[in-house]
Structure 1
Amino acid sequence: MSEEPKAKQSQAGHVNSEAEARQKMVRGSAWMTAGSMFSRILGALYVIPWVLWMGSDYTQGNALYAKGYNIYSFFLLIAIGGIPSAISKQISEYNAMNEYAVGQRLFKRGLLLTAAFGIAGGAIMWFGAKPIAVIFGGSDPNVIPVLKALAIALVIIPSMSLTRGFFQGYQEMAPSAISQFVEQVFRVLYLLGATYFIMRVQRGDWFNAVTQSTFAAFIGAAASLLLLAWYYYRKRPELNALAEQSENQLVIPVWKLFRDIIVQAIPFIVVDTATTVFNLLDQATFQPMMKLAYHLGVDQINTLYAYFAFNANKLVMIIVSLASAIAVTVVPLLSESLASHNMRNIRKQLEDSIILFLFIMIPGAMGMAAVAQPLNTLFYSYDQIGTLILQIAAFTAILLGLFTVVSALMQGLSRNRDIIRFYLIGLLVKIIVQWPCIYFLSTAGPLVATAIGMAVASMMAMYDLERNFGIRYVKILPKVNRILMYSILTYITARVLVYGLNFIFNEQSKFQSLIIVLVAVAAGGCVYAYFALKSHLADMMIGSRAAGLRRKLRIK
């Protein structure tokens, strides 16, 4: 065979490999985005009846809920130990080497490890609830029963998360996505049922309702774990077949499997706890700093804390979860490319990941900022301070999401030490600017300080990716500019509609705020969709279906 046909075959192979990798990433992102989005939306929608049933105590309830969940999130991430992401990464690498049996042994040993971590973490949180509440809960005694309720969920969630990581290692995103949604459905059903019974039937105390609302995490996790076990049972014949046709060249002792899991997991622990550590820093510093700067009472500070730590955070995390969905999808793909030393695929996947993230995140954040006033009224109440905080939180969410994505990219490429270093520098920046931000910006201060810290860490990581993997930011800049331009048009459309509809509808009514939100979001979404289809940016998300939509909508 001549050199020319060989070169053409090689080139065709590269093209097919890139197309297949992109298809996997888009398909995986679609599943994870859908699961994450539905879960987050459901996790936000429950707030509407929950706030109504909590009555005038809802801001204090929100503050207590946020305090308990921030501490729980930190313990949860330590208990999970980054193991699901590490397992996903390792299984992808073993599968790429046709060592499926090793990956399956890794999963089974990992279940033992996560069960031990879950029991240990739950015990520490249960028996240490009082001192933990003193350190991070501002000596609020109501935090103690909330932590004990959450400690029960901590026992089983690590094993549930590990099983999701196992499926992700096979690039099977559907079980993870569906289990996320099921978890949220059962959690919300129990949460709302318990709150209604305590507040409306028993006429009980609001902090008992918050305690039962947090215990709902266990109910959701149990339902999710059962569903994942069913998926695994269905998949077992296929997994056994893959294990039988493995190369079986790798013989790894059990102790080495455990060691590999822990070594791989440590970087994921540090980076995965980034947002939670930032939140805990706010929780520990906001009250004393606000007292020092503004001489406010505890109840006033709790109300202001709830504005950004619960109210805004609950809504903003809907769009940040999109970034997480992309991040989870790309790690096993990058690990696979790294194992096969395919630098061309790596660079392409990095560039596609960033564009995919910005394509979703920027219009989502700007759209939320545009409808912040009716959205805040719908979920909580008509409140100018709450609206302003939600607007600021929506913009800072872009930087939170960016760090989520670039840290996942770095970890997928085994740049673990570097991303930990960048994160710690970002955390140090956050600590340095926290006091001046709170002093000058009051309630918005912690959000701005977080954004500055995340921006520093993200920029350092992006420079590292450019230097070591040849990612070409100049090449993707035209697409970024178009995304930004279309997002600004989306923002203007939604913002003008909100302003105009406020003259027609009562902006303080929850139902009428819902109408304003729906109309503004639909109009803004149509504007963005039109330009995304016309410029062919949408082709990255939905592939060949974009051409069909252009024909149907007569977009040239």
Structure 2
Amino acid sequence: MSNKKLLKGAFILAFAGLAAKFLGVFFKIPLQKLIGDEGMGLFGLPYPLYTVMLSISITGFPAAVSKLISEKLASEDVYGANKIFTVSLIMLISIGLFSSAFLYFGAHYIIDLLDWPRDAYYSIVGLSIAPLFVSIMSAFRGYFQGMQLMGPTAISQIVEQIGRVLIGVGLSYYTISMGVGYAAGAASFGASAGSILGVIVLVICYFIFKKSYRIDKKEKNYTRVSSWSIVKQITWFAIPISIGGILSSIMTLIDAIMVPSRLLRGGYTVEGITVLYGQLTGKAVTLMNVPLTFSVAMAASIIPAIAESYSRRNLDELREKTKSALKITIIIALPAAIGLSILAPQIIHLLWGKGEAGGEILRVLSLNVIFISLAQILGSILQGTNKVYTPLRNLLIGVIIKIIVSYYLLVSKINILGAVVGSIIGYLVVMVLNYIEVKRSIKFKIGIKNSILKPVVASAFMVITICFIYPYIYLKFLSENIATLISIMMAMLVYFLIIYFSRAIDLSENMIIKK
């Protein structure tokens, strides 16, 4: 995979992911107005646990499948590539069935164990079907990414999210009269319905694209490999990445576990805690995840690209791909973090209505966009060079630091911001440790001028633009929403004009962005 193809694939996935995230934001806006902060708290409580259970399906397996299929296709072993997909699909269906059964039959036990409100039961049950179909989607997405076909993954993401929005909000509207718990559960079922639609799209794409790859068992490059051998190959690569995904999810699961218990000790009521948690997960985390879409897409694209260069021992190409991925990530993550932080209350009011709380949580949490983005990309680079356990070790250190910081700060005066600060410090440590290891292993130079200095200068001018434009527009139109929208558009324009004319992005990268 060339540097050009790497960036093009990343931008395709990023575009689809961004569209899905925006649909997710507009899903939560009417949902929050419908069920309130308490309902959003009930809706959000099961998601960290759900994500932890799915980490093996949605992180390690797609990466392993895409890497192995990419290697098979490079040697023109089409039959071998299809066999890898078949084995991985069976493995993921088994994992999905177990996860779905655990959530459905263990809902009451989970609530008792974690001291969650009783109404959280409906949200857990509503989600319980999703693991099976999300696992199936992961197998198909790994298959298509290994074939360097990002379109099916992109289409399925958008269809999945549309289904989630329409079905989730629609069912919540019809069940709100039964109580906020029922409505939150109905919203959770939207994720299950969306995953079913996503599977349907991927199955259709599979049969369409499969016609282009004829299977010939007698082809000269076909190597007979047992299913058990493929299981071991997938497991060897997928398990450490999956554990890393689990640890990332544990970062948020820690909040679901520690926030209620520690804030109760700090004197908060159960209702007050649920409201604060709803502001964190329903608003701040939702908005933070929008710019993180690009780093997730880049991470998915870079593993097979890095693995290809590493297997050929082409260190110059490897360093070039690393530099390019990190530079583009910084150029996108830095202004996103700063912009969200500066306009946090205004963005909350724009999307959820004037007077809505959660702005201060978003202001602090948005800084994590930078650290999470870079930690993800650096971790994927390490995985692509077969250092699959190094990012896992670094992430474990970050989780431990997150637990320690959150434990002590949650009972302080900053209350739920203690959990936010814990996450920021945890991911900062992970980012630094991953960078040190990448720097040591491939000895690349990041390029201070284009990758750091120019984005920082452009971000500074972006901040100045906001500081001048926002009060001027607000006084002229007496509308916070109009001032916020115009400030965001002008700030983005100023930032990317400076990036463009300062040539922070070279010609080949610029061509990819235009496409």
Deviation at 1:245, TM superposition (A): 5.1
Alpha-carbon separation, structure 2, partners of 1:528 and 1:36? 22
- Taking structure 1 as reference, are residues 21 and 194 closer, same or farther at Cα in structure 2, changes over 3 Å only? same
Deviation at 1:322, TM superposition (A): 1.4
Cα deviation 1:74-108 (Å, max 9, x = unaligned): 12224557211111111122223333321211001
Is 1:235 matched with 2:244?
no
Contact 1:130 1:144 in 2 (8 A): yes
Deviation at 1:234, TM superposition (A): 1.2
Alpha-carbon separation, structure 2, partners of 1:498 and 1:61? 33
Q: Structure 2: which amino acid aligns with 1:352?
A: S
Cα deviation 1:248-280 (Å, max 9, x = unaligned): 2x3211111112112211011111223310111
Percentage of matched positions with identical amino acids:
23
- Taking structure 1 as reference, are residues 404 and 246 closer, same or farther at Cα in structure 2, changes over 3 Å only? farther
Q: Structure 1: which amino acid aligns with 2:165?
A: V
The match for 2:429 is 456
The match for 2:181 is 207
Deviates more, 1:408-417 or 1:27-36: 408-417
Alpha-carbon separation, structure 2, partners of 1:453 and 1:541? 35
Contact 2:344 2:362 in 1 (8 A): yes
- Taking structure 1 as reference, are residues 267 and 541 closer, same or farther at Cα in structure 2, changes over 3 Å only? farther
Q: Secondary structure at the match of 2:212?
A: helix
Alpha-carbon separation, structure 1, partners of 2:512 and 2:133? 41
Deviation at 1:491, TM superposition (A): 2.5
The match for 2:239 is 266
Q: Give the alignment's TM-score, normalised by structure 1.
A: 0.88
Alpha-carbon separation, structure 2, partners of 1:477 and 1:461? 21
Contact 2:100 2:131 in 1 (8 A): yes
Alpha-carbon separation, structure 1, partners of 2:224 and 2:59? 25
Q: Secondary structure at the match of 1:238?
A: coil
Q: Which of 361, 364, 383 is the equivalent residue of 1:411?
A: 383
Contact 1:125 1:151 in 2 (8 A): yes
Q: Structure 1: which amino acid aligns with 2:172?
A: T
Is 1:40 matched with 2:21?
yes
The match for 1:465 is 438
Q: Structure 2: which amino acid aligns with 1:28?
A: G
The match for 2:12 is 31
Contact 2:348 2:356 in 1 (8 A): no
Contact 1:371 1:495 in 2 (8 A): no
Q: Which of 255, 259, 265 is the equivalent residue of 1:286?
A: 259
Is 1:93 matched with 2:71?
yes
Q: Give the alignment's TM-score, normalised by structure 2.
A: 0.94
Is 1:226 matched with 2:200?
yes
Q: Secondary structure at the match of 2:225?
A: coil
Cα deviation 1:390-444 (Å, max 9, x = unaligned): 1111112211222222111111211111111111111111122223333253221
Contact 1:81 1:266 in 2 (8 A): no
Deviation at 1:355, TM superposition (A): 0.5
RMSD (CA atoms):
2.2
The match for 1:174 is 151
Q: Structure 1: which amino acid aligns with 2:261?
A: P
Cα deviation 1:156-183 (Å, max 9, x = unaligned): 1101111011111111111111110111
- Taking structure 1 as reference, are residues 116 and 103 closer, same or farther at Cα in structure 2, changes over 3 Å only? same
The match for 2:504 is 537
Q: Secondary structure at the match of 1:218?
A: helix
1:56-455 matched pairs, under 5 angstroms: 58-80=36-58, 82-136=60-114, 138-199=115-176, 203-240=177-214, 247-248=221-222, 250-293=223-266, 295-383=267-355, 386-438=358-410, 439=412, 441-455=414-428
Cα deviation 1:117-175 (Å, max 9, x = unaligned): 11111111111111222233x33111222111111111211011110111111111111
Contact 1:153 1:221 in 2 (8 A): yes
Q: Which of 507, 518, 521 is the equivalent residue of 2:485?
A: 518
Contact 1:184 1:220 in 2 (8 A): yes
Alpha-carbon separation, structure 2, partners of 1:192 and 1:288? 30
- Taking structure 1 as reference, are residues 545 and 353 closer, same or farther at Cα in structure 2, changes over 3 Å only? closer
Contact 1:122 1:154 in 2 (8 A): yes
Q: Structure 2: which amino acid aligns with 1:68?
A: P
The match for 2:2 is 21
- Taking structure 1 as reference, are residues 245 and 345 closer, same or farther at Cα in structure 2, changes over 3 Å only? farther
Q: Structure 2: which amino acid aligns with 1:303?
A: V
- Taking structure 1 as reference, are residues 385 and 299 closer, same or farther at Cα in structure 2, changes over 3 Å only? same
- Taking structure 1 as reference, are residues 489 and 342 closer, same or farther at Cα in structure 2, changes over 3 Å only? same
Contact 2:13 2:297 in 1 (8 A): yes
Corresponding residue pairs, total: 514
Cα deviation 1:17-36 (Å, max 9, x = unaligned): xxx71111111011011001
Q: Structure 1: which amino acid aligns with 2:488?
A: V
Alpha-carbon separation, structure 1, partners of 2:203 and 2:218? 22
Alpha-carbon separation, structure 1, partners of 2:386 and 2:449? 26
Alpha-carbon separation, structure 2, partners of 1:80 and 1:411? 16
- Taking structure 1 as reference, are residues 409 and 383 closer, same or farther at Cα in structure 2, changes over 3 Å only? farther
Q: Secondary structure at the match of 2:2?
A: helix
Q: Which of 475, 482, 488 is the equivalent residue of 2:454?
A: 482
Alpha-carbon separation, structure 1, partners of 2:456 and 2:194? 38
Alpha-carbon separation, structure 1, partners of 2:66 and 2:507? 25
Q: Secondary structure at the match of 1:171?
A: coil
Contact 1:62 1:311 in 2 (8 A): no
Q: Structure 2: which amino acid aligns with 1:524?
A: A
Q: Structure 2: which amino acid aligns with 1:447?
A: V
Deviation at 1:313, TM superposition (A): 0.5
The match for 1:6 is none
Deviation at 1:493, TM superposition (A): 1.5
Alpha-carbon separation, structure 2, partners of 1:263 and 1:383? 51
Deviation at 1:505, TM superposition (A): 4.9
Q: Secondary structure at the match of 1:139?
A: coil
Cα deviation 1:463-507 (Å, max 9, x = unaligned): 11111111213x34543111111012213312443344343455x
Cα deviation 1:33-63 (Å, max 9, x = unaligned): 1001000011001222223333xxx000111
Deviation at 1:238, TM superposition (A): 1.7
Alpha-carbon separation, structure 2, partners of 1:245 and 1:365? 51
Alpha-carbon separation, structure 1, partners of 2:216 and 2:313? 23
Q: Secondary structure at the match of 2:389?
A: helix
Query: Which one has the largest radius of gyration?
Result: 1
Contact 1:182 1:220 in 2 (8 A): yes
Q: Structure 1: which amino acid aligns with 2:339?
A: G
Contact 1:135 1:284 in 2 (8 A): no
Contact 1:92 1:333 in 2 (8 A): no
Q: Structure 1: which amino acid aligns with 2:257?
A: A
Contact 1:356 1:540 in 2 (8 A): no
Q: Secondary structure at the match of 1:442?
A: coil
Contact 1:290 1:296 in 2 (8 A): yes
